[in-house]
Amino acid sequence: MIVLNSKILTLLGFAAKAGKLSFGLDTCIQALKENKSFLVVTAEDISPKTLKEATFFSQKSGVKLITPKGVDIFTLSNAVGRKCGVISVNDKGFAEAICLNFVGGNANDE
């Protein structure tokens, strides 16, 4: 599978190495509640319930949520070195760079 958002995956990998990500729904919600999150990234194949919760808390916090086209849980997990379908980007610079490279998929703009 050719992933359209390979730059996003590369940036997420750098952010993971820099310790600027929260992995999984629960830790992402915590980061949103603590106003540490600047962006939420989800895989295309997460459950509808997980997507609904991530969307709700992102919108409540005024944080953008993106779902890059062609990025499933396996691909996202490989990029960051940990199994996850939901990631919070807790650094403004990384979040802005990821948004600039976002191609296709879904985004909620807040």
Domain at 39, CATH number? 3.30.1330.30
Residue in this structure with the two tokens 């992402």, named with its chain if needed = 28
Residue 1 lies in a domain: no
Query: For 49-66, what is each residue's pLDDT tens digit?
Result: 999 999 999 999 999 999
Confidence of residue 69 (pLDDT cuts 50, 70, 90): confident
Query: For 1-35, what is each residue's pLDDT tens digit?
Result: 445 578 899 999 999 999 999 999 999 999 999 99
Strand-strand pairing, 64-67 and 106-108: antiparallel
Q: In the prediction, which pLDDT does 107 show? A: 59
Q: Which domain holds residue 88?
A: 6-108
Both tokens assigned to 3: 């992933």
Domain total in the chain? 1
Q: In the prediction, which pLDDT does 81 show? A: 94
pLDDT at 80 over 80: yes
Span 66-71, mean pLDDT? 89
pLDDT at 37 over 90: yes
For residues 89 and 27, the answer to whether their CB atoms sit within 8 Å is: no
Span 73-92, mean pLDDT? 95
Residue 29 lies in a domain: yes
